[in-house]
Structure 1
Amino acid sequence: MKVVIQLVHDGWPESRKSCPTQALEYWNHRDELTEIDGIIFKGHKIVIPRDLRHKMMEAVHLGHMGVEKYYSWETIVTDLFTWNNQEYLVVVDYFSRYFEVEKLYKTTNQAVIEKLKKIFSRFGIPQKVVSDNGPQYASQDFTMFAKEYDFNHVISSPKYPQSNGLAEKTVQIAKRILKKCKADGKDPYLALLEYRTTPLHLGYSPSQLLMSRKLRSILPVVSDELKPKVPTRVRELMKAEREKQKEYYDRITKPLPPLSVGDSIRYQEGKTWKQGIVTKEEGDRSYTVKKTEGAVYRRNTRHLMQTNEKFEPDIPDVNIVSPSNHPVAPPILASPSQSSLLIPETQFETKQVNSSPNSAPYTTRFGRTVKPKVIVSM
C-alpha cells in the first residue's frame, strides 16, 4: 500500500503501462482514492489490501455464527434448478429472504450472466455473490463478470448443503409455489408477489426488509400501509436469533481442528473414507484435496479426517510384455545356392570379405552375395 499512498500524494502516471505492478488493481479507481492518516479510502469506504482481507473479515465477524448480514442486498445466493422439464435461476437476498426466479431458455454461461445482470439492474450490485461450483459459476466468463461488476464471488463447499442452505431452501419454496400454481391453474407471478408481502417470523415481509415498504397486491390494504417505513430493531432480532441457533448447534457439535497444506487425510466418498492429501486451503472451512489417482476436489472439513498415513499416489500399471507371450522368431536360413553364414540383422553394411579363395562368400541380410573388392595394381 506504500506504493499506492505515494501515487495518491504525487499523482498517477498518464498511462496504465507506466503504473507500478503493485498498484495496477487500483488503476480504474485512482480518481476516487484519498489518503487519511495512512489509510486509503475509496469515497467513504476503507481500502483493505488483498493480503489482509481474510484477517479483517475474521476480526469483523468474531463471535458470530457465520457472516453477519448488515443490510439488504449485501450478500445474495444464486442457484439453478429444474422443474417441469424447465431450467430456472433463483437469486435470494441473505438479509431479507427476498428472492427472484427467472426461467432459463439456455443454461450457458452467458445466459446465466444475462439474467443476473437484469436482476442487478433493478436492485443494484451486491457486495458478495454465493453459489455452488456449477459449470456456469466456475467458468472464466463468470470470473470476468465478477471483476467487471465489482463483486466478490464465493463458492460453497461441494457435498455440504449446509454451506449453501439458503439456496437449497429457496429452491424448495420456489418449486412448491410453481407446483401449486400449476395444479390450481393460478398465476405464479401473483403467488410470488404474495410470498414477498407475507411477514416472516420477525414480523416483516421480504419486501419490507429489502425496500422498506409493503408491495401492493390484489388483497385489500390501507393506503397508509403502503408508505415507506424503515423496519426497526431487525438487526438486533436477527442477531439474537442467530446466537440462539448457535447455542443449540454447539450443544451437539464440536469444532473441527484446522488442516494445513500437505496434511495426509481421509475424505468421505459415499460410505467409505479414501486416502488423500490437502493441497490448498480455500477458507470458510473448505480445502482442496488431491486423491491418490491424481484427481483434485474441493471438500468441507466436515468430510475430512486427518491421519498419520503416508500419502502414496497410485502408480499407473506399465504393460510389461512377457517373453513367453512373444516367442522369438526362428532364424532365417539361406537358400542352398547361398552360403550358410548370414550377417546379423543389426548390421546393414557389408562385411569385409576374406581374400582366401577357399573361404565361403559373404551374403547380406537379404541374401545377396558380397563380391570381394578387386584392386588392380598399375
Structure 2
Amino acid sequence: MRNVRTELMWVKTNRITSVATIGMLRSVFARLGMPELLVSDNGTQFTSAEFLEFCTTNGIQHLTTAPFHPQSNGQAERFVDTFKRAVKKIQAGRSSIDEALDVFLMTYRTTPNRQVEGGVSPSEAMFGRRIRTNLELLLPPPPKPPSESTELKGGSRKRRFEPHDLVYAKLYSGNKWHWAPGVVCDRVGQVMYTVWVEDRRMLRSHANQLLSRADWDPRTDGAEKPKLPLDILLDSWNLSKPTPAADPTTPTVLDASLQSASPDQRSSHGVPECSPSIPRSPEQVAPPESEPASLVPGLRRSTRVRKKPQRFNSYQLN
C-alpha cells in the first residue's frame, strides 16, 4: 500500500498486515485529518472486515482497483517499482534493510517532484520549508546573526565570558556544591562554556554557574549583609527611639565655648575653676549617685479604629 496525499507525494511505510495498516492510518489521520476517499488495491489487508469497519466508522469512502489492472493505481505501482530498484542498489553497499529504507526515503522526500504543485519536494510541500540535508555542506555557511547581550539588566554579575577569563565555577558533589577557581577555555553556544578548574578537570558550565573573579569573591559572600535601619522598625511599630542613660563614670564634657573661655568667664557662667594645687578627698571626688534611666521605651498601643468582621453582623430574615 502507498499511503499518500495526492498533492504532496508523501510516503509513509509500515508493515502491511490489516491491524498494522489500520494503526498506521490512524496515526496519520491524527496528524493530517480524515480523508474523504481512500484508494487501494485488492490486498487482503484492505478487504478484511476490520478494515471495512474502520473506514465505515470514520466516514471514509474506500475504493479498490480492478483486479489484474495495475494501471488503475498507477501512482502506487510506480512508487513500488522505484522503491525496489533503489533499495536493491543501496543494499549493494552491504547496508541493512532499515538503513537502506531511511536513505531512500530521505532522498525521495527531499527531491523536487513535478507531480507536486509548484514542482517542490514532498517535504517542502508538507512542512512549508526545505528540510536540511547533507547537501547543505556544499554551500558556504550563512553569516551568524549578532548575538544578543547576555548581561543582566541593572545587574553587576557578568554573564558573558571570553576565553582565558578568570572565573569561579560551581562544582557539585552529591547534593552539595562549592565554588572553585577556573579559567574559561572556550564558548559553546550562547550561554555554555568549557572551563578548566584548578583541580585539573574540564567542565561544561552554564553562564549561571560561573562568576567572574574580578567582580566577586565567594569567600566574602554573606560577610556583609544589608541590615534594616532601626528607624524604619521603630516607625513601623510606633515606638520611640531609646536614649542611652548617662554613665556616672564618664566625665562631663563642657561646652567648647566654656572650655576655651578664661577663668573669669567660666566663673561668670557658674563653672567652678579646678585648681591642681587644691587636694580633694575621695568623698569629694565621688560623683553623686543617680538613678539609672530606663532603656526600655514605654509600650504604645495602636489608635486605629477597630471594626468587627461583617460576618458577625446581625442577619435580617424576611
Q: Report the TM-score when normalising by structure 1.
A: 0.32
Relative to its length, the structure with more strand (as a share) is 1
